[in-house]
Amino acid sequence: MLQPKRTDWRRTHLVRPRWTTSRGNTVAYGEYGLCATEPGYITNRQIEAARVVLSRYTKKIGKFYIRVFPSLGITKKPLQVRMGNGKGQVETWSAVINRGTVMFEIGGINPNDAIYALRQAGYKLSVKSRVIKKGEVLK
């Protein structure tokens, strides 16, 4: 699973994704990309599930790129613990996804296969997404 090697702080404040992004909203490396159409969070497990799907369809000829990284620690207090006594331990890591962020890219394979693979990877994520071509931006 993806997680940071080291962080500045043990526990972070929750970042609320709301806006349309102005950076990372175009396909830069591949030919097709999976773009978020709504803001939200993606956990490291969801990124791993999408990675498995993409690697299944690219086989050895294509290449795919993961453009998001889970750097936000999500904390949780243990079960049956009273309120107070500080913040809980980091339970999982997630990436903050704004609207328009390109999360995954794929290239080097048949366009129909690339679109199908990205669509299948989008089913594994908790945000709604759309496949876009190189040079296209979500409006």
pLDDT in tens, 86-110: 999 999 999 999 999 999 999 999 9
Residue 139, pLDDT above cutoff 80: no
Residue 30, pLDDT above cutoff 90: yes
% of the chain with per-residue pLDDT over 70: 100
Q: Cβ–Cβ contacts within 10 Å for residue 37, how many?
A: 13
Residue-wise pLDDT tens digits, 102-136: 999 999 999 999 999 999 999 999 999 999 999 88
For residue 64, give the 3-state DSSP assignment: strand
**26 vs 19, residue with greater confidence:** 26
Write the CB contacts of 20 (distance below 8 Å, at least 6 apart in sequence): 98, 99, 100, 138
Give the range of the structural domain holding residue 44, as residue numbers without chain letter: 1-78+85-139
Residue 21, pLDDT above cutoff 90: no
Cα Rg of the chain (Å, integer): 17
Task: Give the global pTM.
Answer: 0.91
Beta bridge partners of 99: 20
Q: What is the CATH number of the domain that holds 107?
A: 3.90.1170.10
Domain count for the chain: 1
Identify the pLDDT of residue 137: 85
